[in-house]
């Protein structure tokens, strides 16, 4: 398929990324009361995870999509720096870190505390101070060496101190001298500082602040982009949130792609994902339209995930296929065979994500099903739902069931909020799937005792747990079917 061919081209690219490297730390818990000491919520911590952030998140997305990366940036001589390197080594082996350690300067770390899906507070650890000239020279030298083997330069400027005047001007000059295109995710208000870049990728707020013009309507966006082109000399790829993205090039008509129609779950890091997709597409010598399509689809997947997250090649391919049909996509929720499910489960394990597993026939979806799925999703970072195949349903429920075939049931379950992957099984129980996938949380209704939950002993033997979800009274597919047949 065309989409698979595009994805395969991305694996041929190597990209240099320079900018503000960060560690993103997420602490997830449950809030059930207010502290007696102060009017603040009390968070009962349930899980924690760390991810690559800032310029490192751009690199992670490039690696997850199949590309190779040289990552240049600053870290401290601290535990956060060691954790960053360990994350790269274990989850993203195609990232080659070229990190300059600075004594007395902490690795930039953002810790987000979340009560369920809602962020309560963010705590930043950083020190934004000018760098000594010798540190700037080290960064420039690392970039000079990296560019020899790379097809393109990405500058990920988060205004944390790495992209000083000297480093920025040297980076753009090195790329231009080497004949390599450069893409900048800008934070400076003076866009003339980025002169020499090939493409700037601001969002609406950043562009409006930089040029002092509104940026909401199509006409306003074009006027603002033309002002930015005049200042920087670069093409402007404007990310416009629910309006998609538009590329403005000198003396050419704007090129626009609408946003994917999907629920926006969390915009954290979506801009990094868009930059990664665009950079890979250009480095792989795709057309600018194809590169934009990849960037747009990848960003659409990213916003459906909680927290800073990467988009995988499989997720991008699925999004491109549905995008090509002109329909919305439920990112990462397509029915998967066991091989694909195992690969995705292993990636989630390497990324330190808590994986949940729920199963059932889910024949005619009702409020009880929705409540179980919601509780399961709340208990994990990624949720796998396993459906009984049609033959399995017939053995369990009788020859007149299922009412809906597997494909229809999977489409409905896969479109539900919180579901990341749908698989099926032919056996009467999902034991073989559970033994293969080894989820961290196994979810079943509270009408079972924990000892009765199939696969519960397997999950607990590997350090996981069983969750008995609260049931919704009066909800039953069999009862719905009986009422429909009798007219009662």
Nearest C-alpha neighbor of 420 from the set 317, 252, 306: 306
Q: Which of 216, 235, 192 is nearest to 225 (CA)?
A: 235
Torsion angles phi and psi, residue 247, rounded to 5: -105, 125
Whether the CB-CB separation of 66 and 93 falls below 8 Å is answered with no
Are the C-beta atoms of 53 and 81 separated by less than 8 Å? no
Q: Kindly give the pairing relationship between strand 441-445 and strand 465-469.
A: parallel
34's enclosing H/E stretch is: strand 21-34
Say whether 272 is catalytic: yes
**Structural element, H or E, at residue 424:** strand 421-425
**Alpha-carbon distances of 121 from 114, 124, 153, rounded to whole Å:** 7, 10, 34
Alpha-carbon distances of 254 from 103, 236, 241, 248, 300, rounded to whole Å? 47, 10, 17, 5, 21
Counting DSSP H helices and E strands in the chain, the numbers are 17, 18
Beta strands in 216-301 (DSSP E): 235-239, 245-248, 255-257
Residues composing the chain? 488
Residue (of 389, 395, 330) closest to 359 by Cα position? 389
Identified catalytic residue from 272, 390, 420, 440:
272
Residues classed as catalytic:
272
């Amino acid at each position: 398929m065309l989409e698979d061919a595009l994805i395969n081209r991305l694996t041929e690219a190597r990209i240099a990324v320079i900018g503000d490297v960060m560690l993103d730390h997420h602490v997830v818990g449950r809030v059930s009361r207010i502290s007696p000491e102060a009017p603040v919520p009390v968070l009962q911590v349930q899980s924690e995870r760390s991810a690559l952030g800032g310029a490192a998140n751009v690199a992670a997305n490039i690696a997850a999509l199949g590309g190779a990366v040289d990552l240049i940036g600053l870290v401290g001589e601290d535990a956060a720096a060691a954790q960053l390197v360990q994350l790269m080594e274990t989850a993203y082996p195609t990232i080659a870190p070229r990190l300059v350690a600075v004594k007395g300067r902490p690795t930039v770390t953002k810790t987000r505390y979340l009560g369920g899906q809602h962020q309560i507070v963010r705590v930043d650890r950083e020190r934004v101070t000018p760098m000594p000239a010798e540190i700037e020279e080290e960064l420039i030298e690392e970039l000079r060496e990296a560019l020899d083997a790379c097809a393109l330069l990405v500058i990920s400027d988060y205004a944390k101190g790495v992209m000083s005047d000297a480093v920025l001007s040297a980076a753009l000059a090195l790329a231009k001298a080497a004949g390599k295109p450069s893409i900048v995710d800008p934070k400076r208000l003076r866009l003339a500082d980025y002169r020499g870049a090939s493409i700037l990728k601001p969002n609406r707020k950043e562009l409006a602040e930089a040029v002092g013009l509104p940026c909401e309507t199509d006409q306003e966006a074009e006027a603002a982009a033309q002002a930015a082109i005049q200042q920087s000399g670069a093409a402007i790829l404007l990310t416009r949130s629910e309006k998609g993205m538009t590329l403005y090039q000198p003396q050419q008509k704007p090129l626009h792609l609408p946003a994917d129609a999907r629920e926006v779950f969390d915009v954290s890091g979506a801009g990094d994902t868009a930059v990664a997709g665009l950079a890979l597409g250009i480095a792989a010598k795709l057309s600018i339209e194809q590169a934009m399509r990849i960037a747009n689809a990848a960003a659409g997947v990213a916003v459906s995930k909680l927290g800073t997250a990467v988009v995988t090649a499989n997720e991008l391919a699925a999004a491109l296929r549905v995008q090509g049909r002109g329909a919305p996509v439920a990112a990462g929720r397509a029915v998967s065979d066991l091989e694909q499910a195992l690969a995705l489960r292993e990636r989630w394990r390497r990324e330190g994500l808590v994986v949940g597993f729920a199963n059932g026939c889910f024949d005619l979806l009702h409020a009880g099903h929705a409540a179980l799925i919601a509780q399961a999703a709340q208990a994990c970072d990624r949720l796998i739902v396993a459906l009984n195949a049609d033959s399995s349903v017939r053995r369990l429920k009788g020859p007149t069931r299922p009412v809906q075939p597997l494909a229809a049931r999977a489409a409905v379950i896969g479109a539900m909020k919180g579901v990341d992957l749908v698989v099926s099984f032919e056996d009467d129980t999902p034991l073989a799937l559970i033994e293969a996938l080894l989820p961290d949380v196994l979810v079943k209704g509270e009408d079972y005792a924990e000892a009765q939950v199939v696969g519960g002993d397997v999950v607990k033997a590997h350090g996981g747990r069983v969750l008995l979800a609260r049931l919704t009274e009066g909800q039953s597919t069999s009862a719905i079917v009986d009422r429909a047949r009798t007219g009662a």
